[in-house]
């Protein structure tokens, strides 16, 4: 075995075929365009490979603590890969719009929308069909060939990572253990914090009554917002409206992990949730950079695949998110100083103990 044979370099380096070269007028920058997009597909393959491991770990009835560490490691690797995908746009943008025009028309009607691996990646991370923007008044998979479309729809019938994370969070211990009920303790601490804030506003010597009324009303709105997570009826109403997509128990467990992330038993879970948010954020950044690049290259022209170009791609950066619920958890965070103390039995269960 040698280097070239192991990596199949002869085959790999022979598949960059310039369409412009076939027409007798090779465009220099078409090579860059091909290499960048082939590299994207290789990285998509690696992300799907990492998701195989993560979903296998979260697919069981329980997640072993040691396995959770491996899942976090793979999730953080995916984030690094996504960051690289964003940075590759810097290289692609060394191609000027006029350079692109030398071969752009030869690409029609091919399009990045026809990437089966990227669609599988989105589905497996948890982006639902009903949450997607219509693509030229058609479904997101309309551009795929029939075989690829069938594989994507087959994947949609299986639990996504997001579904598995919801189930995993719903099983989180410590949230209700013995006589400790996190929701009640959190609500009590929240009321005490808000009451203290209101008292400070009411007695503040440098605020006018009008300013006090504005700030007090803002705190009342904040309390009503917290009810969306703590109150069963209010949560059910918001869930029906689509404001929450995770289950209530999963959301409360996620909040618990965020608030008590310094406890050893909560830290790996917190890192997993943070990695999911980083994945979502970096993928949104990639979509945004892609949209800006399209605007830079094409202006308001229609894309080679017939898409509406910049406007559609820009909208997907805002809309196509799988973990918005985790981002919303920041709404409910409170200062460390206001955290309700954990009972001794819960605190001991969450920490390492070594005995002779």
In the chain, which stretches have pLDDT less than 70?
300-309, 355-356
pLDDT of residue 162: 97
Count of Cβ atoms closer than 10 Å to residue 150 Cβ: 12
Structure-token pair, residue 119: 């669609």
pLDDT of residue 20: 95
pLDDT of residue 112: 86
Structure-token pair, residue 351: 């920490």
pLDDT of residue 133: 87
H-state helical runs in the chain: 3-6, 9-12, 19-22, 30-58, 65-92, 97-101, 116-125, 146-156, 161-170, 182-202, 209-230, 232-241, 248-259, 264-298, 310-319, 324-328, 344-349
pLDDT of residue 25: 92
* Verdict on whether the full-model pTM lies above 0.75: yes
CA proximity to 342, closest of 137, 125, 189, 121: 189
Q: Where are the domains of the chain?
A: 8-174+260-322
Give yes or no for a contact between 48 and 124, defined as CB atoms under 8 angstroms apart: yes
Phi, psi of 305 (to 5 degrees): -90, 5
Give yes or no for a contact between 338 and 267, defined as CB atoms under 8 angstroms apart: no
- Cα(310)–Cα(137) distance, rounded to whole angstroms? 16
pLDDT of residue 301: 63
CA proximity to 20, closest of 7, 11, 31: 31
Tell me which architecture the domain covering 8-174+260-322 has in CATH. Answer: Up-down Bundle (1.20)
What letter would DSSP give residue 14? T
């Amino acid at each position: 075995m040698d280097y070239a044979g192991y990596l199949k370099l002869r085959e790999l380096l022979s598949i960059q075929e310039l369409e412009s070269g076939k027409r007798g007028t090779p465009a220099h920058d078409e090579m860059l365009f091909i290499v960048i997009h082939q590299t994207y597909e290789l990285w998509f393959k690696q992300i799907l490979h990492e998701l195989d491991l993560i979903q296998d770990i979260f697919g069981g009835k329980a997640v072993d603590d040691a396995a959770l560490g491996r899942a976090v490691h793979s999730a953080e690797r995916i984030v690094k890969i996504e960051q690289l995908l964003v940075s590759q746009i810097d290289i692609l943008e060394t191609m000027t719009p006029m350079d692109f025009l030398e071969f752009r028309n030869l690409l029609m009607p091919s399009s990045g929308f026809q990437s089966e691996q990227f669609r599988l990646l989105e589905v497996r991370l948890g982006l639902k069909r009903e949450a997607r923007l219509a693509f030229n008044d058609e479904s997101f998979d309309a551009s795929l060939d029939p075989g690829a479309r069938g594989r994507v729809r087959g994947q949609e019938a299986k639990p996504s990572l997001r579904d598995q994370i919801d189930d995993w969070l719903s099983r989180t211990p410590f949230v209700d253990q013995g006589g400790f009920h996190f929701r009640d303790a959190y609500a009590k601490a929240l009321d005490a914090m808000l009451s203290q804030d209101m008292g400070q506003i009411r007695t503040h010597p440098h605020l006018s009554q009008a300013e006090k009324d504005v700030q007090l009303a803002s705190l009342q709105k904040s309390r009503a917002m917290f009810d969306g997570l703590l109150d069963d009826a209010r949560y059910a109403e918001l869930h029906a409206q689509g404001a929450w997509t995770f289950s209530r128990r999963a959301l409360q467990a996620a909040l618990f992990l965020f608030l008590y992330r310094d406890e050893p038993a909560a830290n790996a879970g917190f890192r997993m949730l943070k990695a999911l948010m980083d994945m979502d954020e970096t993928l949104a950044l990639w979509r945004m950079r892609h949209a800006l690049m399209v605007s830079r290259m094409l202006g308001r022209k229609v894309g080679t695949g017939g898409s509406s170009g910049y406007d559609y791609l820009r909208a997907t950066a805002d809309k196509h998110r799988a973990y918005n619920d985790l981002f919303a958890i920041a709404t409910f965070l409170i200062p460390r100083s206001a955290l309700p103390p954990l009972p001794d039995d819960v605190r001991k269960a969450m920490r390492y103990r070594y005995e002779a």
